[in-house]
Chains A and B, each alone.
Chain A
Amino acid sequence: MWLPNVCVVIRFSCQTLFQQTGFRKNKQILRKEAQASGERGGMGVMNLKLATEISSEFEDQPSPTEGEKCTPPGGVPYFRQHSRNRSLDSAQVLSCFHHHHHHHDQSGSELGSPVQLPLSSMSTKSHSPSVIVNDRIMSMRQQHCCLYHDFRTVAGESHSHDLSSTKLKCTCAASSDDSGICSGASGTTGSETDDLNCSVACDTYDDDDDDVKVPDSDSPRLSFDSAVLTDDHEIVDEGDDDALETSLDTVVLTRCLGVHNSCSDDDALQEVDPEVDLDLTLINDEVSTPRAGVPITTLTEVGTTPVVCTLGEMDQEKDSSESGSVTVTESGSGDAATTNTNVSSSSGSVSLLSRIRVNARVGKSQPSCSKNTSLTSGNGNGGNSASTGAPSSGISTSNIAAGMRSKLRLNFGKGKEKTKGSTSSTPPVVESTETPKTPTDSGVSKSTSTITTTAAVDSVAGISANNSCNNGESEAEKKSDDVCDNAEEAKTQFTEVSKPKSWLLRFFESQVFNMSYAIGYLFTSKEPGVQQYIVNRMFGFPEREVDFYLPQLVTMYVQMPDVAEVLHPYLVSRCRKSVNFSLQCAWLLDAYSVDCQTQSRKKSHGTKLKNHILSDSLRPKDMKNFRKLAAVYSPTSPSSGPPTFPSIPGGVEQGTFASFPSSSRITPKPKTHQRSLSDAPAMRLGFSETNLAGKTHRRVASFGLPRNCLGDLTSGHAFDNGCMCFEPVFTELKPQNEDCVCGAERLSPQLELMKSLIQIGKNLSSLLNKDDKTPKLIAELNLVNLNLPARVWLPVYGHTPHIILRIPPQDATVLNSKDKTPYMIYTEVLEVENTQSVRIPPKPSINNMLRHSRSEENLVEGEGNPPSSTSTREISLCVSVESPPSSSTSNLPMTANSSQDLHVGSDCWSQEDDEISLQYLQMKSKRCDRDTISQMSQDSCDSREPVFVSAIDIRRRLSESINAPKNTFQRDPEDPSASVLKEPFQIKEERIKNSSPYGQLVGWKLLPCIVKCGDDLRQELLAYQLLSLLKDIWEEERVPLWVRPCRIFVLSSDSGMIEPAVNTVSLHQIKKHSKMSLLEYFLQEFGSEKSEGFLTAQKNFVESCAAYCLICYLIQVKDRHNGNILLDSEGHLIHIDFGFILSASPKNLGFENSPFKLTEEFVQVMGGTGSDMFEYFKILMLQGLVASRKYSDKIVHLVEIMRSGCQLPCFKSGVSTVTSMKSRFHMSMTEEQLQSLVNDLVNQALNSLTTTLYDRFQYFTNGIL
């Protein structure tokens, strides 16, 4: 029964869905809709949607009929056409096979066995898979496993079943033979807290020859639809998903039917209708499941016909969050034709949110009945407009936001824009469409009334499109009637259509298709359609996932013009959304396009884009768009609760954007200098009120010269772009999450910060004397600090939004390096929700800082060395019987003294001194309470009885304090970083937090960061990616290998930032400072050989060592001297410095020809060659290798793409770099062979002479132990 056809599954799932959602009885409706959309289908032939689903819906008897249906003619030609593209098909097979498997799994069978069966059956049935290369299948199997895992994790337990339908929602696809693939994709709607970031795109394609076209299967057209399908949905709410899916499917169905009926003779064939997808999504959004959330009935009027529509709500929390974020977007591109409507309505506890995306191609108005507002956004280009009615049940407010995002589609859609004259609302059209519709709708609405509305909307759109563009709608209507009548026929045709889906497409549309594959296909595929599709898909991927591959994307952008063309809109749209992304993009472009620039005079497109970004012109186009985006990428809305701006009273009919309270938003703000605000002298109560008033006023008036100090570090406002949109004064006037509206440069502050940090590095390098570097660094950072806090952040940690508060200078350190001067800073940051809109905390008055230090005086007594402090305190307590405790006694007279001194009034201290002296007094009393012994001794002291202390005690304490285990190495002027690095991060963080004036802010955090200039970090970046990938793979495969990829941020081809691994010291430093072997160090740090601590550390060591050995082998990491190998506080080994990987090695001396560095010392820590841990080490390596082998494609892709740039030294041996890397995965080996391979490698490494030789060499040349 394992039919290759997806239909089974689809049907099955569909059915369940329908059962659940109670749609079952709506066949009729569906049919009607199909009919209705049939007309439109006439012109939108391409958009065939998941026909399978409908078939399944219509079938009461699942499998047998299915079987029949699946075999029909469509399949064969389809596969024939596509068999030429083997890889694609194989992918397709994979996806299909995955579905099967998944399905099967649910019924309880185990993983391995069923896999082959469907595969083979499939390959026999369809022609293409037979050509699939053997290893291809192999790898696919592996991939499958991972995908399987993926899927399992994604799907919630209870809903996994339903989700399978999600999986299968690869849509039917038809591809035309001669013109390649045309793809239409509707992006996804993330229905998470960030509401819609969906990009709906539909690529249209023209079939040139109508003659050739045979209905349906013979001239299959390809349209991908992945509409609503994203991880987000699954994660957020399954119920929602189902609903969306269902609706989606139905609509698709209708459309398909329409296609079947009318495509052959319809002129509209030429016209590809991109909006179908859009409509589709609209429907998705609008329709909701009754079972999830609270169903609310709303009345929507389409034209004149009232239709009952149920808006479902997903879950409560989401509602609240979403209702808060109402966004209005109008895509500014001018040619945009889509409107994303975001409707959110809240009713009491439940608020509804439905997202409506309407194709604006066809003017369409949908006035909504009760309170709804319909928005019309006219767009510049073709006079396309969309208006969407947002139905909301009788609830107080309904905020409707219509956003448009259709750049993609319009950029690439070849569909001739029939500029429909009908702009905002086209009542006549609506009217006309209603005629065929009304009966259907009304009939249906009585029974269940769910999809109807949407369908109606859809059909309206379709018809109106038809109306305005080509053939008279009469014909269309006729067609629809036909469809109505011949439901059966539609059914059959439908299944036929479902058959010829491209495996590739199905794979693409499947859930398993992720960024990793996308990158791969983007790189390998030469088909513009495929590329286009992938890019469209990327809009739907989680941004973080995409960001991981940004270096690859940028490289392709720079190196491959065709990819660049399709990538461009994606990058641009992301840039528009996020400043961080813009900068990252610009820096990467800068870094990777260096060579291009030198080659030709003409600016490469990479440089162009970079300049474009840096010119800061890529910002959200207008206010509404702005608004929407702000809400999209800041998940801040939950906190804001109710709609952020004043509720719109009543129904704003045909509300144009002007009706929004934009007037309050765009409050023109006086552009005074910020200083005037921050200077508010809170503590200047020292003199009279009038003084105060007069002075502040004066300041603003005459000294507050507005001037742009960007980049001038001495100004104190070097990173201040003068934007005051988030100052409290102004935030009162506008909603919380409002974006900056003053148009200040968004990128400059950050650019300036990076510039100054890099400049510091350069300045340091110019100092010849090593001793001078640290003071210089401190000095420079002091200067930078003057300009903080500001709206700047560390790009290495760009994924967690934050702003920099301060860079404590004394904790910065210059790192060991021969000629370059990398340095490490610890940065105090404030974690925020959105970097761009958070209010910069005011600079604390210095007084705060001082007071802090003053209050610290109390503590400082015992604080010297945190771990040893307790002991010393104890000692001092013991001693205090005979001797007055050092500070308490001495303190008291002193404080008395000082406060008395203050009261004398001889100096000009003002009232704040009283506070301070008060503090002193409190401290005094506190101390007395706390420490009665000292009180006693103090008394005794006062009574002048001689107090004695033994000299030997003093000396003993001294020697104890020396020998006490310390957190830090002694400060060594030769190597200032050692002591800084050794201090445990938590303790350091605590210490800095306590001494920081910002320490009490909520969200305060300390982030370490290494700034490197003069070094090319691009290779490090690649290494980071590889490491992260391997890490993920091993996690996926449950291999307990431990890797710590250090995040890299490339600023240019010779500078960048590194996220250091905290709590680490290099082996070199260990050897140098503790002067013992590694094992001895382990014993010292973690305890004796049998202790828990040691064993844990040993395990950590083995797991990390195995991981890095494997990594070193796979990507041939060289230059492995002890300065480049770190040990963290848990015993993990961490390799850093991937300056020599793949085909590069230092000086190419031929040292280090062992596969990886495994010294006798390492093995000692593991317990010797024969020990269990050593065996475990080898097993881990084997497992790791096996696991990474499965995913070798991913890994190789990553490297291969970077090679296309060919700028990195690691690719200097050219193509062979990649092939030899591939070979290191030993794909052909059996597990036994692998095992012996690992053994060989380990032995080879262990016995390698070159390793020791290289260590010697490093010792002699660089003094590295």
Chain B
Amino acid sequence: MGGQWLSTVEQTSSGRPVFLPNEIECSLVSAVDLECEDLPSFPSLKSGLLILTTHRLIWLPPDTSSTSTTSSAVAVPLSSVSHIFSAKKSLKAIFHSPRIRFQASLFHEPGSNPEPGPRSIVVTIVVRGKGDCDAFLGKFWESWRGRAWESEVSGPVRGEDLGSGSGTRSGSGFYTKEGAVRMVGVSGILRKEQEMWESTDKSLQEAFQDLNALMSKAKEMVMLAEKMRQKLLSGSNSQTGSTNDDELGSKEEMQDWLLSVGIISPVTKESAGALYHQQLSRQLADFVKIPLDRAGGMINLIDVYCLFNRARGTELISPEDLLQACSLWEKFDVPVMLRKFDSGVMVIQNKSHSDEEVFVRIKALVTNPDALRTGISASDAAITLGIAPAMAKEHLLTAESKGLLCRDISPDGFRFYINLFPEINQDDVYLVKDHGIYSTWVRVASVS
């Protein structure tokens, strides 16, 4: 083809373009022309399908054309785009098809008449069809700015279809021009794995070299830290009574300094815990806000542990860390708190959480006719209160301990009823007052 400015695009048997590794489609527009006024030898690309990917702008010829046609699938690598022009709003533009213009630095396929080397030309995308030009422009910007192609530059050389894109990588076959092995097929995948292992191994070795050096330094550091620690300890012991402000100030400085180096001072451990735990504590308080609202104001500590670690992804925290982080909240002004129930279950709840309010809702639930007749289970309460069943059970147990409810254990399960025992008259067990929950219950229960 004369004037090979644009790289060819390999296509699958069904006409889809073969994508590069990690290349993702972003947008498609149909009935698009690509024009270039600067180059007379620019190919005629009319009414094709324009595909924007993370790496390229691919133009596919329209379906109606046969294989041996004047135009074939071509692409402009986004890496060669130097500028995207913003849409021109003019009177002319209203009557014409919408256009997007961009500037790219393209190479000419060697072996053709004009001089080799890059030329900066302006290409116009003419959207003749019904595509949304502005949206496409937006996506074009995003993909271009995303620079997805750059993250792969450091990797080993792969066989890409950017034939004339950079001029150095071209041709097909197992070996590229530099002699590096091409990554194609299963062997390509295996090869890639192998190379990744080798490079990881190498970097690990290098790291350990540094580590050895660090360890020898660490010995000195440890001795220094010990000296500091002794000083701090002796400082706090010598003052049996009140300490004056100066002494306290320098001691605090020392502690801060030690903390910043990452060493845990024994004095600090007693009071606020290491810096790590303080930071973790704050981070946890921020993180837990959203799940807490979603769970209705109270979450099991075990669930928080799972959520938090999953969100962190790496650098997982241990259960002890979590517990310590929660207990540090007492020292800060955060809107959440750790709470331990009598049953041993630990939860995180909003400080604004009111037990009383929950009891009001439980009471309302347990005094409706069905509940009077058959009581409520933890799952019933969970649905009404909008919280997890385990949390609901804790609330029910707490309400029971306050005398609001009493339990009924039977083969049907563990259920709760409104507490009627206070309503029973000691002197006359047959007496039922005309009004009140007892009489309501009698009425409802006798229906069944």
Q: Do A and B come from one complex?
A: no
**B residues whose Cβ falls under 8 Å from a Cβ of A:** none
**A residues whose Cβ falls under 8 Å from a Cβ of B:** none
